Amino acid sequence: MAASAAILLSAGSLMLSACGGGSETRYRAGDDTEARQFAWGIPQHIPLPIVPDDNPVSEPMFQLGRHLFYDQRLSGNGTQACASCHLQSMAFAEPLERSIGSTGELHPRNAQSLVNVAFNPTYTWANPSLVTLEQQIVVPLFGEFPVEQGINEENRDEVLARLANEPVYPPLFAEAVPELAEGERINFQVIVKALATFVRGINSFHSDTDRYESGEANVVTEAALRGRDLFFSEDLECFHCHGGFNFTDSTADSSQLFVDTPFHNTGLYNIDGEGAYPEISEGIIEITGIASDMGRFRAPTLRNIALTSPYMHDGSIATLEEVIRTYAAGGRNIVSGANAGDGRANPFKDGFISGFEITEDEIQDLIAFLESLTDYEVINNPRFANPWDAQP
């Protein structure tokens, strides 16, 4: 992480947990009526996300964050916005295998969907030390390895000046942080909090499966229902890593006594026969240094998964059908090339990736169920759309 990013982190009031996964006590209880006054888009039966005490949600902060999210001026060279790699039409993911930063540098990992990330206990694919959105957002803004939006010590004042000179921003900042004096409002701590609030507010609970689970009839096809039975069966074991209201075991909310931070090795690689993944992206071992953490990544939500191809941490699987076939085989066997090796025999592979029998019809049923997790409201909701498109 860039030095400037570290400085910003230390200045903020952020929750940190030990590296290496595990669990952390984070418990809030009681009446959340006041908290639900914010337009969360979260049904009453779903607990609210955990929100840092020093960044309570508000509509003015959400709207400021929405403008910043879509603004290329928030990058070192003025060419890239958060939205450049997180497209609303793709549930805030992108179609590239791996993202490209503002200076043309190829990112080692695939851009994940941002929908429902308010419920993540950790952020990015494999960093157990990033436990809040406020921490994570510093990385694409200021990170150097790789460069994403490319803000650094040399250009940060220029970036702030660009924002200050845009007439839309001064009133937005004034409404978001009225407690700050006029000349102190446009700064990176406020920018990070605003971006976090916008992303925290992008929630998705209006898929056909949501309607089915709420009691609506005839909203899910027979094929999807058969796929649902397969998904939640012990034969396929999908639900162990992709269960719960957010379809991932990596979920935290304000009702929980304990928050787990699981990571999984799914047997994608085994380059040296001893479990190695490509050096460019090895999992949480990059943070922990623990050998058995090789190839361990966070399981993403499966909500809107039909919109977010390609798949896996490096975008190396193109289709849902290929993903299912990989898990059915108990991992991926790469027979040639630089990454050749039998991932099925990876010694660090998760115990749930044991393989299973599945017919061609069942594969299509399972895909139908996954497609029923698509929320077309979230990808068409003007609340999450580019506000600059509406500017005169």
Q: Name the helix (H) or strand (E) containing 260.
A: strand 258-261
- The answer to whether 241 is a known ligand-binding residue is yes
| Distance (Å) of CA 63 to CA 70, 134, 284 | 11, 16, 34
- The answer to whether 240 is a known ligand-binding residue is no
Predicted confidence at residue 7, as pLDDT, reads 32
The architecture that CATH gives domain 29-201 is Orthogonal Bundle (1.10)
| Length of the chain as a residue count | 392
- Cβ atoms 112, 93 nearer than 8 A: yes
Predicted confidence at residue 361, as pLDDT, reads 98
List pLDDT tens digits, range 140-193: 999 999 999 999 999 999 999 999 999 999 999 999 999 999 999 999 999 999
Predicted confidence at residue 391, as pLDDT, reads 74
- The answer to whether 19 is a known ligand-binding residue is no
List pLDDT tens digits, range 227-237: 999 999 999 99
How many CB atoms within 10 Å of residue 79? 15
- State both tokens at 308: 């977010």
Do 29-201 and 208-373 fold alike per CATH?
A: yes
Positive or negative, the Cα torsion across 93, 99, 103, 104? Answer: negative
Runs of H (alpha helix) within 201-249? 208-213, 222-231, 238-241
Is residue 114 helix, strand or coil?
coil
Is residue 344 helix, strand or coil?
helix
- Cβ atoms 62, 198 nearer than 8 A: yes
Predicted confidence at residue 35, as pLDDT, reads 83
Is residue 264 helix, strand or coil?
strand
- Cβ atoms 100, 106 nearer than 8 A: yes
The CATH H-level (homologous superfamily) assignment of domain 208-373 is Cytochrome c-like domain (1.10.760.10)
Find the radius of gyration of the CA atoms of the chain. Answer: 21
Domain boundaries, the chain: 29-201, 208-373
For tokens 């998904």, the residue is: 231
Q: How many helices (H) and strands (E) does the chain have?
A: 13, 4
Report, as ranges of residue numbers, the positions in the chain whose pLDDT lies below 70. 1-30, 392
Report which residue type is found at 233.
S
Predicted confidence at residue 302, as pLDDT, reads 98
Is residue 93 helix, strand or coil?
strand
